Structure 1
Amino acid sequence: MNDKAKRITRKSSTPIKVYCLPEEKEHIEAQAKRAGMSAARYLREVGQGYKIKGVVDCEQVGELARINGDLGRLGGLLKLWLTDDVRTAQFGQSTILAVLSKIEATQEEMGNIMTKVVMPRSKL
């Protein structure tokens, strides 16, 4: 016999049937998708005691990168103002307070996105 004939694969093994209600099936499939796995792999790994680690949502990471860029630009403006740069001579205190307020709002937005990345969606 050759090596291929001796090798046992999952497809050639006996499956385990799991009966569940439609909403249970949807929940399992959603959990598997959030973890970046097929439902079969998800159930196989959970059944063997593996801790499932979810994948980070790429859209949310992109949003964090955008917010980080906003904070960098705002910080640059503030730095120019603090160095008494000629280009910022026309900025008054109200403009600086507006920049600081925008930085605070952006930090809050970033915190909200980070919470979504870290917390499972089912808990939000």
Structure 2
Amino acid sequence: MTGIRNKHLRVPVSTAEEQAIKSKARDTGLSVAKFMREISLGYTVKSVIDHQQVEKLLKVNGDLGRVGGLLKMWLTNDVRIKITSKAEIEETLFSIRTTQNKMLSAILDLRKK
């Protein structure tokens, strides 16, 4: 369906619609013309930012924050968290490494797209 593109279509839009179209085109990394052509022809246009992956990263980041908070309480000898065995320390460190690996995996998934 490609070839010489020498025809132009004129589509009247409001200022708000123009801004929305330009914003959506920018989110996909496409020019406005290519974005409108692809949408009009029924193609699915993927956003440069995968919102599901961003949500996944935010959850993992929250997990890291919680683990960091627990580790900080342990290091300050908080009585609410009394870690007495080497196994508990190793389990905490394993949890941190696991969460870091989840974060790395999510980032790598984003790069593939």
TM range (shorter): 0.5 to 0.7
The residue type equivalent to 2:109 in the other structure is: K
Q: How does 1:50-89 map to 2 (within 5 A)?
A: 55-89=48-82
SS at match of 2:48: coil
Cα separation, 2, equivalents of 1:10 and 1:70:
50
Cα separation, 1, equivalents of 2:111 and 2:47:
9
Render the CA deviation track for 1:58-88: whole Å, top value 9, x for unaligned.
0000000000000000011111111111112
Q: How does 1:1-124 map to 2 (within 5 A)?
A: 10-11=9-10, 35=28, 41-42=34-35, 55-120=48-113
Q: CA deviation at 1:119?
A: 2.2
2:19 alignment partner in structure 1: none
Asked whether the 8 Å contact 2:74–2:83 carries over to 1, the reply is no
Distance change (3 Å), C-alpha of 1:82 and 1:90: closer
The residue type equivalent to 1:62 in the other structure is: E
Larger radius of gyration: 1
SS at match of 1:86: coil
Identity between Structure 1 and Structure 2 (%):
40
Q: RMSD across aligned C-alpha pairs, in angstroms?
A: 3.3
Aligned residues: 83
Q: CA deviation at 1:94?
A: 1.3
TM-score by length of 1: 0.55
Structure 1 unmatched runs, 5+ = 1-8, 13-34, 45-52
